[in-house]
Structure 1
């Protein structure tokens, strides 16, 4: 009997020990979809700032962190929306959480009281102090900026820094003590990076230790987070912590961090808004910069209504073709792309013009799109997927079809009229309006794409021959691939941001480009196939009707294309 009791106690002890070694996520915290990952296995996002001015500001004022004790920053969520389980507040305050390779810094730009602030936040898997003793904690600062004349970001200056002192409070009294760095190795644009201190407590403060041993994890903008990650941060219910930059808390956080005294020393001529301000909410559509750009290629297009409001607050004149072409610049196209940087990494497919007699009048649009949608067995996208199309416009009020400049009475009717005038005379040296519109869209896609990029062509070893005046392109014709896509892709490959592959449109063999200047290719390679089945679509598109039988992908805009037209490859 004693032996039996002893054995039971031993087994009970072993069971308790095993249970205590397994990370327990919940406590009083609730994750959306009960999606959890061990705190040190949450994949970080590669660095990605927002588009346009906001992204420039995020990078220009990105802080550095001196973390003397307590946890180092970790990633809170991964691209699939899994949240870190956190750590129980036991042992040392920095116990098991000082791996500097697991961190992320979250950035978001907003306004309070007409002033522009850039919020930067770090997530910690635990906090152990006299006042806070639990899993999960966020540290944040807000950098307040000002510019006299609303110019480019280079002319914006820091007027103050607010340091988080609790879950919902900020200390603005220490701003004057802030030291600044010019970035790693002193290569940044002047001293614009605040050096922030943390010592294992609940608050941040200006560090006086310099930038020799700072932490500078990859920055990810709220805009550049995947939809799943944003949904998790918006819906996660913390028992003790608070995410300061999610949709529910961001404005309140900015308001709490604001101090008008930061701006009182400015001269009378400096009473204008601190940086270019968006039009007031009453005159613009629902946040296109923050909502539309990052919904992902399977988003609900009802979130992305078209906004005709220009940067200066005026309304676009849709009867003026030149005004439309100026408005539809690279930034505007990217605003409405149905994909974030995460979505458009290792997934982009471009194509050249068709040169064989069999395809010359048809182009490679259908070939490239069908391969991207079905044959590659990986979720990939051509330009025909990335903008709202006829199906979206028909299903959701306020959404515009970006693929129909030729539609009579459509929102791009002014371009149609201008195109007809061009075709009546075809003046030499003038690029047709339709071509100008789609050239810009193609360039925008190239700017949005990273990682492995595929170009579909009938001539894999002769990409250099598409230069105007050479074998496959007469000098008098427009050439979207060569003029607008190629320069951006070459720049990204040279910067280490992309790798280029060429797909033979006939054999479907793929070759890696080994010299981006000459487009020399190596032996055939196999591209990674992440999906066991063909292209997958979301419920919103499964429920929507197809616009045309030519829509190989339910997110494709090919249904808006007249037979024989191919604006992106010709």
Structure 2
């Protein structure tokens, strides 16, 4: 559990980074070391949030920007400390500055009047209005949050949003008009992302246009900026603009954005503007606490402890394989996928043995894990690795190890025995118990995914496990992937909630699926690179209540299987 007090955020190092470099002037603006870069050649930082609780807050409340007129956001500074030259305020207000691939979102967490605020800022290379007509401008909002004692990030709730109305001023009167998104494509589990509007003037405001066309440039926290970049932002002297989040201005900006009225109505827990809370834990609850399902980041194992129970309230009979299979349905699996983790990544990695004979594969589980957690150097995890494992079961009373269907004496031992009986006779038309168990998990995994979905396979040109009507669809063994994952993925792609890619396990080349009905693939493509590395995001999981880091990229879960091991039939 994250045992942090929000008060501690005030102690997280707001010290100034002084620079000994000599500044030089350019058109009234003075850059440290005279380090400049053309505005459209400033290389953006890859997405990176602060470690620990601060970073989780930065990601949880990250805003989306509807930019109707004027410039799109651009990166202000690169890793070498070179600042963008900006644009002369000529021509149209958005002339030559509406490239949505050049943007950056800057984030920093701090406190004012004992309250926690998350500042988000966008840099513009120019601004052209009746009152401001020059190079360089910053837009920003501050999301004010509240929680009871000993909070974790998912206990924090938005109480107000302040919108910048000038270089040093904020409007706090429009907070109640703010709409919230659940993230890109609207597929995240909880709406915690403010939708912000900009129309080419000096201020931002609550957008009423939804998030369909909103911008979401990569978020970089102050802490994750390079030392050279921080020194430039601390030492840069703007003739007309002001960087609101550098060491010199950050506290003043928070103080200017603060409004005590955001907190005056918080007289008790019951009137917090939060997502619905789960019912209190009960050893004889009626059902598996399904109220936890739709809460996303607010999922709290202390209130939603997993314990296998049936809908009538009786304890699950662990000697009855059929009872286990009835309980381990899609909703139960989804509770761990969507209810706890899906908001932390918008890329899912699947794998299929394709045409390899059963028990003769080349270790695609291992290949997929190594690519997702190492070779790709991106925040990409197979959702199977978010299942609770032995480490979770040992750390959290009531949490079951989902990786034990083959373990003698495990809580799924009845399934193992049922599987052995099936293997002895292999009756026609009967789906193996192990397949039934993972069919539910497979379907839930697909339901939890959005954004990019990557399938690792040996045969990218023939996705045998997904394509209908192939000889590999053996009548006696209902295929996990084809029968349960596939329809969900097809539905999500057709609805615009996901894009499907295929990764060749041998060459590591990636192809986009161009026809979701036939799984036809197009030419090789490069996946985007605006995601954090596995190393950067693993810290978030290491601090999570259910420690999924060990399940994803380390020594447990499917990634730990030896070559040739696999629990799925072909």
Structure-2-length-normalised TM-score: 0.49
How far did residue 447 of structure 1 move?
A: 0.3
User: CA, structure 1 residues 120+508, in 2 after alignment: closer, same or farther (shift >3 Å)?
Assistant: closer
Indicate conservation of the 8 Å contact 2:542/2:549, yes or no.
no
Compute the displacement of 1:64 (Å).
20
C-alpha change, 1:504 and 1:160, in structure 2 (3 Å) is: closer
Q: Distance in 1 between matches of 2:233 and 2:62?
A: 21
Secondary structure, counterpart of 1:356 in structure 2 = coil
> Which sits farther off after the overlay, 280-289 or 200-209?
200-209
- Of 526-535 and 265-274, more deviation after overlay is shown by 265-274
1:352 positional shift: 1.6
SS in 1 for 2:20: helix
Range with bigger deviation, 432-441 or 27-36: 27-36
* Deviation for aligned residue 1:395: 3.9
**CA deviation map 1:225-263 (0-9, x unaligned):** 999999999999999999999999999999999999999
Deviation at 1:396, TM superposition (A): 3.9
Stretch deviating more after TM superposition (456-465 or 99-108): 99-108
Task: Name the CA distance, whole Å, in 1 between partners of 2:505 and 2:338.
Answer: 26
Question: Which 10-residue stretch deviates more, 490-499 or 144-153?
Answer: 144-153
Q: Which moved more, 1:341-350 or 1:494-503?
A: 341-350
Distance 1:87 1:273, change over 3 A: same
State the shift of 1:492 in Å. 0.5
Q: Which moved more, 1:134-143 or 1:209-218?
A: 134-143
| Range with greater deviation from structure 2 (547-556 or 405-414) | 547-556
Is 1:466–1:472's contact at 8 Å kept on the other side of the alignment? no
For residue 444 of structure 1, report the CA deviation from its aligned partner: 0.2
Q: Structure 1's 185 and 560: CA in aligned 2 closer, same or farther, altered over 3 A?
A: closer
1:520 Cα offset (Å):
1.5
SS of match in other structure, 1:54: helix
Aligned equivalents of 1:339, 1:371: Cα separation in 2? 25
Deviation of the 1:117 alpha carbon: 28
- Whether the 8 Å contact between 1:454 and 1:500 is mirrored in structure 2 is yes
Moved more, 93-102 or 500-509: 93-102
Give the gaps of 5 or more residues in structure 2. Answer: none
Q: 1:3 to 1:22 in 2, by over 3 A?
A: farther
Q: What is the deviation of 1:563?
A: 6.2
Is the counterpart of residue 321 in structure 1 residue 336 in structure 2? no
Shift of 1:381: 1.3
Unpaired runs of 5+ in structure 1? none
Q: Provide TM-score, normalisation by structure 1.
A: 0.49
SS in 2 for 1:283: coil
> Which piece of structure 1 moves more, 208-217 or 131-140?
131-140
Contact 2:345 2:380 in 1 (8 A): no
* Segment of structure 1 superposing worse, 10-19 or 337-346: 10-19
Q: Which moved more, 1:529-538 or 1:395-404?
A: 529-538
Superposed CA deviations along residues 187-239 of structure 1, whole A, max 9, x for unmatched, are 99999999999999999999999999999999999999999999999999999
In structure 2, do the counterparts of structure 1 residues 566 and 123 end up closer, same or farther at CA, with 3 Å as the change threshold? same
Q: Deviations over 1:412-464 (max 9, x none)?
A: 12212222222232211111111100111010000000011111111112226
* CA distance in structure 1 between the partners assigned to 2:473 and 2:337 by the alignment: 29
Instruction: Tell me: CA distance 1:91–1:386, structure 2 relative to 1, closer, same or farther (3 Å).
Output: same
8 A contact 1:81–1:228 mirrored in 2? yes
Counterpart Cα distance in 2 of 1:376 and 1:7 = 37
Q: Evaluate the alpha carbon distance shift between residue 248 and residue 342 of structure 1 in structure 2; reply closer, same or farther with a 3 A threshold.
A: farther
Structure with bigger RCO (C-alpha 8 Å, 6+ apart) = 2
CA distance in 2 between counterparts of 1:363 and 1:272 reads 49
Q: CA deviation at 1:411?
A: 1.6
Q: Partner of 1:77: helix, strand, or coil?
A: coil
357-366 or 377-386: bigger deviation: 357-366
Q: Distance in 2 between matches of 1:227 and 1:396?
A: 40
Shift of 1:336: 1.9
User: Which is worse superposed, 445-454 or 235-244?
Assistant: 235-244
Q: Is the 8 A contact 1:103 1:217 kept in 2?
A: yes
Does the CA contact (< 8 Å) of 1:128 and 1:200 recur in 2? yes
Residue 254 of structure 2 aligns to a residue whose secondary structure is: helix
Q: Distance in 2 between matches of 1:179 and 1:515?
A: 35
Whether contact under 8 Å (2:119, 2:141) holds in the other structure is: yes
Query: 2:517 is paired with a residue of what secondary structure?
Result: coil
2:561 maps to 561
* Structure 1 pair 377–562 and aligned structure 2 pair: CA distance change class (3 A): closer
Summarize deviations over 1:334-393 as a string: whole Å, max 9, x none. Answer: 112387575365310112224357983444111111111111111111133111112222
Q: After alignment, is 520-529 or 545-554 more displaced? A: 545-554
Q: 1:127 to 1:437 in 2, by over 3 A?
A: farther
Residues of 2 paired with 1:398 and 1:249: CA distance? 48
Matches of 1:142 and 1:350, distance apart in 2: 37
Aligned pairs, how many?
570
Kept after mapping to 1: 8 A contact 2:4/2:152:
no
Report the CA distance between 1:132 and its aligned residue: 31
The answer to whether the 8 Å contact 1:293/1:339 transfers is: yes
Shift of 1:306: 2.2
Residue 57 and residue 298 in structure 1: after superposition, are their counterparts in 2 closer, same or farther (change >3 A)? Answer: closer
Compared with structure 1, are the counterparts of its residues 376 and 152 closer, same or farther at alpha carbon in structure 2 (3 Å cutoff)? Answer: closer
When residues 540 and 150 of structure 1 are mapped into structure 2, their CA distance, relative to the original with a 3 A threshold, is closer
Could you tell me how far 1:409 is from its partner in structure 2?
2.1
8 Å Cα contact 2:189-2:338 kept in structure 1: no
Q: Distance in 1 between matches of 2:28 and 2:287?
A: 33
Q: Is the CA contact 1:279–1:313 (under 8 Å) kept in the aligned structure 2?
A: no
Residue 65, structure 1, aligned to residue 52, structure 2: no
In the other structure, the counterpart of 1:549 is: 549
SS at match of 2:463: helix
| Distance across 1 between alignment mates of 2:562 and 2:2 | 87
- 3-state SS in 2 of match to 1:496: coil
Greater Cα shift, 462-471 or 271-280: 271-280
Taking the TM superposition and a 5 Å limit, the aligned residue runs for 1:480-499 are: 480-499=480-499
Q: 1:458 to 1:116 in 2, by over 3 A?
A: same
Contact map agreement 1:551 1:557 (CA 8 A) in 2: yes
- How far has the Cα of 1:332 moved from its partner? 0.7
The alignment partner of 1:293 has SS state of helix
Contact 2:112–2:251, Cα closer than 8 Å, also in 1: yes
Quote the Cα distance in structure 1 between the aligned partners of 2:7 and 2:114: 70
Residues 159 and 262 of structure 1 are in contact (CA less than 8 Å); yes or no, is this contact kept in structure 2?
A: yes
Closer, same or farther in 2 for the Cα pair 1:192/1:38, shift >3 Å?
same
Q: 1:85 and 1:345, CA in 2 relative to 1: closer, same or farther beyond 3 A?
A: farther
Deviations 1:392-417 (A, max 9, x none): 22344433211111222222122122
Q: CA deviation at 1:68?
A: 22
Looking at structure 2, the residues matched to 162 and 222 of structure 1 have their Cα atoms a distance apart, in angstroms, of 19
Against the structure 1 CA distance between its residues 338 and 132, is the aligned structure 2 distance closer, same or farther, given a 3 Å change threshold? farther
Aligned equivalents of 2:2 and 2:454: distance in 1? 72
